[in-house]
């Protein structure tokens, strides 16, 4: 029991010296027959050293129970019967086991002759997936290549098949990075790659009496020296298995590494740093689960390191950072190269470079220097760049018209962010994580711009796929009741295919699923149904539409007609009806052997009067038809006419009707603010000059009408106008200037309001003197006339008022000689128009010696209320008065008092 579980092979070791690599004479008693249970008959012989398969049938497998990698397997294959089908082996075989039709393995098969699609020669296939029952011939025989059955390599040709009853030696070298297959010492396939550990076994398809014997295997110690030359203190990388593409093998028990400097490791893929320069022999010894082992030795060279160093300056984003190299190399030699990694994706090989950073943050700048001996050293120094944000978002593909949700993952080291989204369809958003509905299916490059609170920005563009959305649509036939409605799918989708249809006919009947079904509506009381179509594409996008479906009743044809007059359009008014649906066509026969129409409400002009039978045939949108006929009469027309005389604006224009015959109704339109009249002979007053299109519409006793339009002129009216200056004058200076402001006049009639009138053709300004007139207000009138006799009148008032004058003597002598005894103002026009009056006398000290409010009172030269004579000298007088119509006035002067 212990031997069956632990040992895959019956081991025969050659000797104990060195490392044991060999395992010979595989014991096939421990192997397993796999595949569908009726396929194959595997019989172990030779004490377990051979196995014979004797059924000419479907593919069958005989497999080892354990997995292998980094092995070389050798053995013999002998075909002992004259059949020409497939033999070979599988490797890298993985679970499941038993009779499952799911495979995960590599298959090497070999055929003798061409037979149908089966080729003579060799092929190497990667099988990963389910081979359905009944498909063996498609894959294992025809070698149809697809993702499940991947044909990796072939070597077909004449005389490349195996030979009956000849023992052929086969070799498989299977490592994690290489597949090498030899037949009779010739290399058939040698393919590099990344390969997984798996089980090894034999394969047979439609080939009887095949023997697999004398198989042995060796372990193969190979590793990759990733870093054949390093610098002191650097790490050497030793790779036995590339775990990025291959699993850790289970057939190997141990790895023992000797790095040549006294250090060792038992890791599968170790790392080791050397502290001193020199040349070191690195040996690896591997041992499998059966005690077989192998070793290999490779050399690694360790060189002396230079010492990297530099200085830099901190900058703001957008400025250039300068770097100064301070590196040294001791013990001879020189530094020959500089590689700068500025921590932003940029590099340089200049000794003293500069770099323009495109994003903010603290940058750990890495300088890598290389000496002339190939040694490398690095150093990292931080340089600061003020922050900008990092844009990021995620979005899932959606169907057209569905909502695309954009999840913002943008970040910034410090500060806050705002966002601008460009959805690549003319729409933008400033939301943090917006959603958007596209109107067209396509691939959209969505751009997110993030802006920090310091106005730093970053931009990210990603593609979102908007799958085509179907546009559901259908048509249905227009029918009358009792006929079946034909539904035709008219749905559209671009760059996709509609795969399913679902119909709801709106009458409770079972759902339909064909693209163009027929349906009979049976409810006589319902004419309109809401039918719904739901369509779905291969991408899972769907759309639905609900459209009305009408079952049409028969229409009822009918129409009316107004009185028909000869030469005028006769209006026919359709009054046809249908209880549901619409009338879609009209055919009129106007009964004169000439006229027809397809309009609903046509107008028709008959060439002669008389009685006509008019027929209307209607068709509904469902194709249902009805007709009717009505007799109509055609009467003769009156002839509209009138006469008029042109006049001036404001005068009466008389319109004389001259229409014939049998006119019983008149309607005038004077083309002036909607003014009309229904009198036979009309009149109208135009207030504005110009041309007016006056219409007269008449109707005779049969209701027939005619209309005439003539151009009526209202002559241009002149504009009277003038100004006067001054409008208020006085008897002393009764001069008034008259200035023309009139226009479009040829003659002027003047009435100056005082009985003086005159007529002139001149528009020259003039001055008139109101002499010998009393004070009064005169109404001056100007009448302006043009050549057509049209006139305009303009009035202004001119007032002549009393004027006044005032004067005082500069000396008076109250000495009782009867001459110049008193002092008072003298003038004209004071007494009659005086409203207010004050008269003051002041001495040279400013003392008031006299005052009065009576224009008739004079100063007699006394002071102190008349109690004593005022002394001789100069006195100041002051008068303040208000004259009716002339305003308030003040006068100041002086006079001399003498005795």
DSSP string, 612-628: EEEEEEEEETTS-EEEE
Whether the CB-CB separation of 633 and 564 falls below 8 Å is answered with yes
Q: Residue 861 above 70 pLDDT? A: yes
- Please report the pLDDT score of residue 22 as a whole number: 62
How would residue 620 be classed by pLDDT, with cut points 50, 70 and 90?
confident
Question: Of the candidates 410, 430, 412, which has an alpha carbon nearest to the alpha carbon of residue 421?
Answer: 430
Count of C-beta atoms within a 10 Å radius of residue 515: 16
Amino acid 74: pLDDT? 94
Instruction: List the single range of 59-63, 171-175, 521-525 with lowest mean pLDDT.
Output: 521-525
> Which uninterrupted H or E stretch holds 354?
strand 354-356
Per-residue pLDDT, averaged over 283-287, amounts to 91
**Residue with more model confidence, 610 or 805:** 610
What does the block give as tokens for 417?
């962010």
Bin 112: left if φ > 0, else alpha if -120 < ψ < 50, else beta.
Answer: alpha
Is the predicted pLDDT of residue 1 greater than 80, yes or no? no
The dihedral sign for the CA sequence 461, 463, 466, 468: positive
pLDDT higher than 50, residue 9: no
Which pLDDT does position 173 carry in this prediction? Answer: 94
Beta strand ranges found along 590-717 (DSSP E): 596-597, 603-604, 610-620, 625-635, 642-644, 652-657, 663-669, 676-677, 682-685, 690-700, 705-714
2: pLDDT strictly greater than 60: no
Percent residues over pLDDT 70 in the chain: 95
Distances from the Cα of 384 to the Cαs of 315, 414, 699, 726, in angstroms? 6, 14, 100, 90
- Tell me the percentage of the chain whose pLDDT exceeds 90: 50
pLDDT of residue 15: 30
Asked if residue 501 has pLDDT above 90, the reply is yes
pLDDT in the model for residue 38: 66
Tell whether the model's pLDDT for residue 3 goes beyond 80.
Answer: no
Note the pLDDT of residue 621.
76
256: confidence class by pLDDT, cuts 50, 70, 90? very high
CA–CA gap between residue 27 and residue 807 (Å, rounded): 164
Highest mean pLDDT among 226-235, 629-638, 729-738: 629-638
- Over the stretch 116-138, which tens digit does the pLDDT of each residue have? 888 999 999 999 988 887 888 88
- β-bridge pairing 583-589 and 596-597: antiparallel
Asked whether residue 789 carries a pLDDT value surpassing 90, the answer given is no
Indicate the pLDDT class of residue 806, thresholds 50, 70 and 90. confident
∠ at Cα 396 (391, 400), nearest 5°? 120
**C-alpha distances out from residue 261 to 58, 255, 302, Å:** 58, 18, 11
Section 703-727 average pLDDT: 90
Distance of alpha carbon 234 from the chain centroid: 55
Q: Which is more confidently placed, 38 or 797?
A: 797
Q: What Cα–Cα distance (Å) separates residue 20 from each residue in 25, 197, 715?
A: 15, 21, 136
pLDDT band at residue 11 using 50, 70 and 90 as cut-offs: very low
SS3 content of the chain, % helix, strand, coil (to 5): 0, 55, 45
Band of residue 19 on the pLDDT scale cut at 50, 70, 90: very low
Q: Which of 35-49, 294-308, 348-362, 755-769 has the lowest mean pLDDT?
A: 35-49
How is residue 428 written in tokens? Answer: 């933008």
- Rounded Cα distance between 593 and 516, Å, is 46
- pLDDT, average across residues 18-44: 74
- Sketch out the chain's domains with CATH numbers: 17-219 (2.60.120.200), 224-302 (2.60.40.10), 310-385 (2.60.40.10), 393-467 (2.60.40.10), 474-552 (2.60.40.10), 559-635 (2.60.40.10), 642-714 (2.60.40.10), 722-801 (2.60.40.10), 805-897 (2.60.40)
**What span, in angstroms and rounded, lies between the C-alpha atoms of 561 and 547?**
37
* CA–CA separation, 340 and 367 (whole Å): 5
Q: Model confidence at 160, in pLDDT bands (50, 70, 90)?
A: very high
Going by pLDDT thresholds of 50, 70 and 90, the confidence category of residue 23 is low
Q: What secondary structure, in 3-state letters, does 71-110 show?
A: EEEEEEEEECCCCCCEEEEEEEECCCCCCCCEEEEEEEEE
Q: Which of 378, 238, 367 is nearest to 305 (CA)?
A: 378
pLDDT of amino acid 17: 31
pTM for the complete prediction? 0.38
CB atoms within 10 A of CB 178: 16
Average predicted confidence (pLDDT) for the chain: 87
pLDDT at 589 over 90: yes
Gap between the Cα atoms of 703 and 665, Å rounded: 9
pLDDT of 646 > 90? The answer is no
Burial class (CB in 10 A: 0-12, 13-18, 19+), 555: buried
User: Quick one: pLDDT at residue 84?
Assistant: 85
Q: Is the pLDDT of residue 18 over 60?
A: no
Q: Residues for the chain: how many in total?
A: 899
Q: What is the pLDDT of residue 16?
A: 31
pLDDT at 21: 45
Dihedral (CA of 111, 113, 117, 121) sign = positive
The lowest-confidence range among 3-17, 311-325, 374-388 is 3-17
Q: What is the DSSP letter of 308?
A: -
For 193-334, list the strands marked E by DSSP: 198-205, 210-219, 224-225, 229-231, 235-239, 252-258, 264-265, 271-273, 278-288, 293-303, 310-312, 320-325
- Cα 342 to Cα 322, 350, 363, 391, 812, distances in angstroms: 11, 12, 7, 21, 118
Phi then psi dihedrals of residue 736, to 5 deg: -130, 125
Mean pLDDT of 601-608: 91
Residues 661-689 have pLDDT tens digits of 999 999 999 999 989 999 999 999 998 88
């Amino acid at each position: 029991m212990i031997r069956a579980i632990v040992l895959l092979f019956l081991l025969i070791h050659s000797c104990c010296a060195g490392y044991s690599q060999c395992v010979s004479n595989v014991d096939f008693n421990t192997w397993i027959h796999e595949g569908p249970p009726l396929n194959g008959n595997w019989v172990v012989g030779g004490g377990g050293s051979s196995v014979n398969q004797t059924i000419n049938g479907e593919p069958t497998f005989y497999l080892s129970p354990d997995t292998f990698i980094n092995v070389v397997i050798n053995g013999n294959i002998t075909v002992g019967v004259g059949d020409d089908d497939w033999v070979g082996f599988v490797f890298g075989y993985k679970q499941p086991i038993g009779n499952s039709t799911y495979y995960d393995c590599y298959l090497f098969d070999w055929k003798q002759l061409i037979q149908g699609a089966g080729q003579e020669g060799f092929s190497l296939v990667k099988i990963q997936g389910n081979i359905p029952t009944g498909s063996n011939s498609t894959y294992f025989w025809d070698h149809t290549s697809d993702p499940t059955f991947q044909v990796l390599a072939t070597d077909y040709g004449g005389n490349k098949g195996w030979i009956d009853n000849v023992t052929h030696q086969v070799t498989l070298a299977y490592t994690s990075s290489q597949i090498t297959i030899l037949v009779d010492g010739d290399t058939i396939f040698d393919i590099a790659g990344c390969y997984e550990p798996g089980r090894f076994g034999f394969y047979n398809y439609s080939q009887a009496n095949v023997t697999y014997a004398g198989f042995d295997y060796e372990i193969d110690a190979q590793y990759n020296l990733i870093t054949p030359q390093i610098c002191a203190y650097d790490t050497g990388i030793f790779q036995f298995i590339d775990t990025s593409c291959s699993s850790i093998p289970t057939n190997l028990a141990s790895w023992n590494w000797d790095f040549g400097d006294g250090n060792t490791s038992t890791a599968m893929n170790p790392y080791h740093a050397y502290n001193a320069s020199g040349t070191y022999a690195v040996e690896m010894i591997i041992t499998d689960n059966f005690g077989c082992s192998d070793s290999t030795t490779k050399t690694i060279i360790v060189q002396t390191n230079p010492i990297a160093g530099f200085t830099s300056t901190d900058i703001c984003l957008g400025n250039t950072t300068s770097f100064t190299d301070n590196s040294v190399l001791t013990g001879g030699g020189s530094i020959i190269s500089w590689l700068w990694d500025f921590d932003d994706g940029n590099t340089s090989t200049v000794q003293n470079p500069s770099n323009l950073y495109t994003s903010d943050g603290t940058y750990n700048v890495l300088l890598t220097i290389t000496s002339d001996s190939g040694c490398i050293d690095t150093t990292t120094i931080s340089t600061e760049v003020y922050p900008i944000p990092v844009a990021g978002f995620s979005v899932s593909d959606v169907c057209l018209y569905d909502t695309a949700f954009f999840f913002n993952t943008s970040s910034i080291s410090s500060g806050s962010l705002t966002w601008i989204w460009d959805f690549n369809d003319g729409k933008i958003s400033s939301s943090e994580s917006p959603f958007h509905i596209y109107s067209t299916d396509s691939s959209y490059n969505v751009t997110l711009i993030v802006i920090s609170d310091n106005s730093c920005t970053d931009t990210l563009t990603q593609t979102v796929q908007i799958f085509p959305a179907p546009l559901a649509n259908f048509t249905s036939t227009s029918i009358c009741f009792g006929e079946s409605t034909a539904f035709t799918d008219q749905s559209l989708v671009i760059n996709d295919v509609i795969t399913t249809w679902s119909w709801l006919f709106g009458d409770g009947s079972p759902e339909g699923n064909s693209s163009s079904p027929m349906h009979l509506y049976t409810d006589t009381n319902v004419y309109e149904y809401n039918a719904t179509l739901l369509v779905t594409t291969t991408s899972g996008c769907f759309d639905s539409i609900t459209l009305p479906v009408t079952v049409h009743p028969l229409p009822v044809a009918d129409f009316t007609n107004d009185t028909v007059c000869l030469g005028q359009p006769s209006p026919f008014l359709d009054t046809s009806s249908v209880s549901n649906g619409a009338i879609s066509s009209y055919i009129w026969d106007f009964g004169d052997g000439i006229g027809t129409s397809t309009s609903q409400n046509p107008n028709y002009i008959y060439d002669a009067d008389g009685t006509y039978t008019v027929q209307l045939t209607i068709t509904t949108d469902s194709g249902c038809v009805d007709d009717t006929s009505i007799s109509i009469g055609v009467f003769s027309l009156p002839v509209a006419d009138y006469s008029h005389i042109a006049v001036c604006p404001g005068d009466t224009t008389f319109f004389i009707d001259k229409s014939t015959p049998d006119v019983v109704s008149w309607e005038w339109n004077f083309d002036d603010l909607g003014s009309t009249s229904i009198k036979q002979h009309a009149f109208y007053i135009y207030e504005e000059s110009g041309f007016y299109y006056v219409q007269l519409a008449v109707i005779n006793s049969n209701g027939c009408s005619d209309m005439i339009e003539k151009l009526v002129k209202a002559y241009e009216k002149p504009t009277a106008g003038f100004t006067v200056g001054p409008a208020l004058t006085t008897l002393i200076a009764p001069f008034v200037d008259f200035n023309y402001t009139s226009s479009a006049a040829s003659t002027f009639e003047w009435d100056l309001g005082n009985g003086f009138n005159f007529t002139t053709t001149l528009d020259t300004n003039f001055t008139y003197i109101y002499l010998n007139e009393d004070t009064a207000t005169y109404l001056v009138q100007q009448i302006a006339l043009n050549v057509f006799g049209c006139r305009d009148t303009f009035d202004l008032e001119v007032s002549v008022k009393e004027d006044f004058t005032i004067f005082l003597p500069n000396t008076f002598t109250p000495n009782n000689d009867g001459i110049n005894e008193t002092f008072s103002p003298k003038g004209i026009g004071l007494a009659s128009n005086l409203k207010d009056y004050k008269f003051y006398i002041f001495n040279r000290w400013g003392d008031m010696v006299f005052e009065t409010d009576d224009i008739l009172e004079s100063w007699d030269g006394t002071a102190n209320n008349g109690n004593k004579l005022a002394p001789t000298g100069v006195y100041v007088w002051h008068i303040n008065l208000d004259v009716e119509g002339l305003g308030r006035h003040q006068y100041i002067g002086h006079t001399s008092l003498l005795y």
